[in-house]
Amino acid sequence: MNLILIESPELRGDRVHLSDARAEHITAVLKARLGDEIRVGLLNGNRGRAAVIAIEKGAVELDCRFDEPAPPPPRVDLLLALPRPKVMRRLWAQLAAMGVGRIILTNAWKVEKMYFDSHVLRPEGYRPPLIEGLQQAGDTRLPDVHVFKQFKILIEDELDGLFPDGLRLLARPGEGSSVLDAVPAARSGRVLLAVGPEGGWIPYEEELLTAHGFLPVSMGTRPLRTDTACLALLALAHAKQRREAGYHSL
Amino acid sequence: MNLILIESPELRGDRVHLSDARAEHITAVLKARLGDEIRVGLLNGNRGRAAVIAIEKGAVELDCRFDEPAPPPPRVDLLLALPRPKVMRRLWAQLAAMGVGRIILTNAWKVEKMYFDSHVLRPEGYRPPLIEGLQQAGDTRLPDVHVFKQFKILIEDELDGLFPDGLRLLARPGEGSSVLDAVPAARSGRVLLAVGPEGGWIPYEEELLTAHGFLPVSMGTRPLRTDTACLALLALAHAKQRREAGYHSL
């Protein structure tokens, strides 16, 4: 954890009493003592510093000052055919750490319907790992999560609302221009990256996506696992956005 | 698996008898029948196709033709401060899938010594997940693995032998030029990416690395977990190498 995230309802004034894994982290990993300052963040709010004002058995009391802005919001969103729950469970934290604004999960022909019953798709299943990823990366903004069981309805009726402007890219192994060439120079432009199921989209799905503005891009000829592909794509989109925007040294 | 990897000692002429997870994959996932052709590869050799010539209970007999070259060898190597065994265990397959020529694991001040006793560092621990990653990506070349318990000896005495030419990059969060700007245009150039332990390199280690030609690069201000950082860096280096070499559509 490079930041301890605190939620507004936990605060009493500037103070918060922690007795969960965060308290454990503060005492056992950071080895903080009375009076030490640690880095904190307010979920979906500012970052800042907190003084350790009390340490009891398994609990810590902090006096917080949230006076630094959060990092700039990610300008990348993800449209992902739901992977196996085991893969999705591991992916949440890594997506939040890399930085993604909105995560849109969808059914597809090659996604097993029963995946949608998994605990990893419920807020109590994905919120903790998302927060873990934010704490790793020093961010405070929880990605938006949307789950669609009907691919056609998502693409035809809902997507323009969720992702009104910006570039839509469809990642697949094989031929196709590089993500690096596709991601635009515009400082404010958003990118939506579509990643298919392990077995790939079926032709009908690819046609629907391209009919709705998705441009095919490739990371080469090696088929990657869903989780590997998502992280690689996010890395490329972020690096290109940073670079084109002239943020060479951020 | 997008390719079934076979090792030379398993072959009798062009034939191989499989009775392990590969046989299971061929019958249960690929649902191959007698006479069907499947994609195969010879470990560290060519790729090709094999005809299914017998299916028994839990076993498959293949007639192989290895007549297609393997994908081009990755031109990226990795120097990685050994992460926790749990992280390393998951990372092997993803590294092999993304494509990496040589994986050099090292001790560092913030690496716990006992990690080096882990099963994940023994060939019987890392070979199966590396092969799994190759089968995912359709590659046949097993990455070279080297393990060093002494950072100073590695950097001062061994590294020039393991990585004689090419660009050495030191990844760290914060300031620094982008990997995209650092990776060279040269078609034949290799890149060695150094990734530190979760807590970072200590100043002495960074100084030793920079004194031995490592240039600092950054992927932004978000500190990432070791595994996420490795995959993101590999994605950037590969994308830049593909792009600069003019392989826009490979």
pLDDT at B185: 58
For B50, the enclosing helix (H) or strand (E) is strand B47-56
CA distances from B197 to A94, B131, B164 (A): 17, 25, 24
Please check the confidence at residue A250 and state whether its pLDDT lies above 50.
no
pLDDT at B247: 45
CB contact under 8 A, A71 and B233: no
CA torsion sign, B108 to B111 to B113 to B116?
A: negative
Sheet holding A47-56, edge to edge: A4-6, A37-42, A47-56, A59-68, A15-18
* A227, A235, A242 member nearest B235 (Cβ): A235
pLDDT at B84: 95
Distance in angstroms (rounded) separating the CA atoms of residues B13 and B66: 12
Across A80-89, A169-178, B210-219, least confident range: A169-178
- Over residues A118-134, the mean pLDDT reads 97
Q: What are the structural domains, with CATH classification, of chain A?
A: 4-68 (2.40.240.20), 76-244 (3.40.1280.10)
CB neighbours of residue A142 within 10 Å: 16
pLDDT tens per residue across span B28-61: 999 999 999 999 999 999 999 999 999 998 899 9
- With beta carbons less than 8 A apart as the criterion, state whether B103 and B223 touch: no
For chain B, the residue count is 250
For B45, the enclosing helix (H) or strand (E) is none
The three-state secondary structure class of B34 is: coil
- Over residues A116-142, the mean pLDDT reads 97
pLDDT at B188: 64
pLDDT tens per residue across span A175-224: 778 888 888 755 568 999 999 998 899 999 999 999 999 999 998 889 99
B43 alpha carbon, distance to own chain's centre: 14
CB contact under 8 A, B223 and A2: yes
* B139, B178, B248 member nearest A242 (Cβ): B178
- Over residues B151-162, the mean pLDDT reads 98
Contacts of B238 in chain A (CB under 8 A): 219-220
- Residues in Cβ contact with A226 at an 8 Å cutoff, skipping those fewer than 6 apart: A80, A81, A83, A87, A91, A195, A197, A198
Please check the confidence at residue A246 and state whether its pLDDT lies above 80.
no
Residue A46: which of A60, A65, A20 has the closest Cα? Answer: A65
* B137, B179, B224 member nearest A224 (Cβ): B137
Q: Write the burial class of residue B248 (CB in 10 Å: 0-12 exposed, 13-18 middle, 19+ buried).
A: middle
Please check the confidence at residue A14 and state whether its pLDDT lies above 60.
yes
Please check the confidence at residue A90 and state whether its pLDDT lies above 70.
yes
* Residue percentage of chain A with pLDDT more than 70: 96
- With beta carbons less than 8 A apart as the criterion, state whether A76 and A99 touch: yes
- Over residues A211-240, the mean pLDDT reads 93
Contacts of A222 in chain B (CB under 8 A): 71, 97-99, 137-139
Please check the confidence at residue B249 and state whether its pLDDT lies above 60.
no
Residue A98: which of A52, A34, A143 has the closest Cα? Answer: A143
Q: DSSP state, B12?
A: B
Q: Are strands A15-18 and A59-68 parallel, antiparallel or unpaired?
A: antiparallel
pLDDT at A249: 34
Q: Write the burial class of residue A72 (CB in 10 Å: 0-12 exposed, 13-18 middle, 19+ buried).
A: middle
Q: Are strands B15-18 and B59-68 parallel, antiparallel or unpaired?
A: antiparallel
Contacts of B179 in chain A (CB under 8 A): 239
CB contact under 8 A, B178 and A221: no
Distance in angstroms (rounded) separating the CA atoms of residues B45 and B73: 11
Residue with tokens 């990734």: B195
- Over residues B142-166, the mean pLDDT reads 97
Average pLDDT over chain B reads: 93
Burial call A94-125: b when 16+ CB within 10 Å, e when fewer: bbbbbbbbbbbbbbbeebeeebeeeebbeeee
The residue among A185 and A132 whose pLDDT is bigger is A132
Residue A194: which of A220, A218, A158 has the closest Cα? Answer: A218
Contacts of B243 in chain A (CB under 8 A): 178, 180-181
Please check the confidence at residue B248 and state whether its pLDDT lies above 60.
no
Please check the confidence at residue B245 and state whether its pLDDT lies above 70.
no
Would you place residue A241 in the very low, low, confident or very high pLDDT band (cuts 50, 70, 90)? confident
CB contact under 8 A, A225 and B71: no
For B150, the enclosing helix (H) or strand (E) is none
CB neighbours of residue A181 within 10 Å: 12
pLDDT at A64: 97
Within 13 Å of residue B197, how many CA atoms lie on the same side as its CB? 20
Residue with tokens 């998951």: B90
Distance in angstroms (rounded) separating the CA atoms of residues B246 and B249: 8
Does the complex come out with an ipTM higher than 0.85? yes
Distance in angstroms (rounded) separating the CA atoms of residues A14 and A92: 30
Across A123-132, A170-179, B158-167, least confident range: A170-179
CB contact under 8 A, B239 and A219: yes
Please check the confidence at residue A167 and state whether its pLDDT lies above 90.
yes
* B138, B181, B232 member nearest A248 (Cβ): B181
Instruction: Find, in chain A, the residue whose alpha carbon is nearest to that of B231.
Output: A232
Side chain identity, residue A195: V
* A175, A180, A223 member nearest B239 (Cβ): A180
CA distances from A140 to A76, A99, A136, B31 (A): 16, 10, 10, 46
Contacts of B221 in chain A (CB under 8 A): 71, 138, 250
